[in-house]
Amino acid sequence: MADICKAIEREKEYISNIIHNANTPALIDLLKDCGFNSLDKYFAAKKEYQFLNCGMKIKEINTGDGIGTIMDLLINKSPTLLFNENNETFVYRLTDEMNDEYCFNNGIPVYDIYADGGTIVVKNGDLSIAIIIPDDIEINSEYILNGIKNILLKYFEHVEVNNNDIMIDNKKSIGSASINKNGMLAFVASCSFSDKTELIRNICTAPSSKIAGYIDSSSLSRDKLKEELSLWLL
| Alpha carbon distance 95, 113 (integer Å) | 8
Q: How many domains does the chain have?
A: 2
Instruction: Spell 183-209 as b/e; 16+ CB within 10 A means b.
Output: ebbbbbbbbbbeebeebbebbbeeeee
pLDDT tens, residue by residue, 166-200? 999 999 999 998 989 999 999 999 999 999 999 99
Tell me what pLDDT residue 116 has.
Answer: 66
Picking from 17, 33, 52, the residue at the C-terminal end of a domain is: 52
Q: Is there a single domain that holds both residue 102 and residue 31?
A: no
User: Span 2-6, mean pLDDT?
Assistant: 95
Q: Is there a single domain that holds both residue 67 and residue 100?
A: yes
Q: Is there a single domain that holds both residue 16 and residue 102?
A: no
Q: How confident is the model at residue 209 (pLDDT cuts 50, 70, 90)?
A: confident
Q: Is there a single domain that holds both residue 45 and residue 126?
A: no
Tell me what pLDDT residue 217 has.
Answer: 95
Please count the other Cβ atoms lying within 10 Å of the Cβ belonging to residue 24. Answer: 15
pLDDT tens, residue by residue, 109-126? 998 887 766 788 999 889
Range of the domain at 8: 4-52
In this predicted structure, the answer to whether residue 102 has a pLDDT above a threshold of 70 is yes
Q: Is there a single domain that holds both residue 63 and residue 48?
A: no
Tell me what pLDDT residue 120 has.
Answer: 86
- Of 87, 91, 82, 84, the C-alpha closest to 58 is 82
Picking from 29, 52, 75, the residue at the C-terminal end of a domain is: 52
In this predicted structure, the answer to whether residue 139 has a pLDDT above a threshold of 80 is yes
pLDDT tens, residue by residue, 52-88? 999 999 999 987 768 889 999 999 999 999 999 888 8
Spell out the residues 6+ positions from residue 187 whose beta carbon is closer than 8 angstroms to its own.
130, 131, 132, 141, 144, 176, 178
Per the prediction, the chain carries an average pLDDT of 92
User: Span 17-37, mean pLDDT?
Assistant: 93
Tell me what pLDDT residue 118 has.
Answer: 75
Q: What is the CATH number of the domain that holds 78?
A: 3.30.930.10
Picking from 52, 72, 87, the residue at the C-terminal end of a domain is: 52
Tell me what pLDDT residue 93 has.
Answer: 86
User: Span 34-63, mean pLDDT?
Assistant: 94
Q: Is there a single domain that holds both residue 82 and residue 63?
A: yes
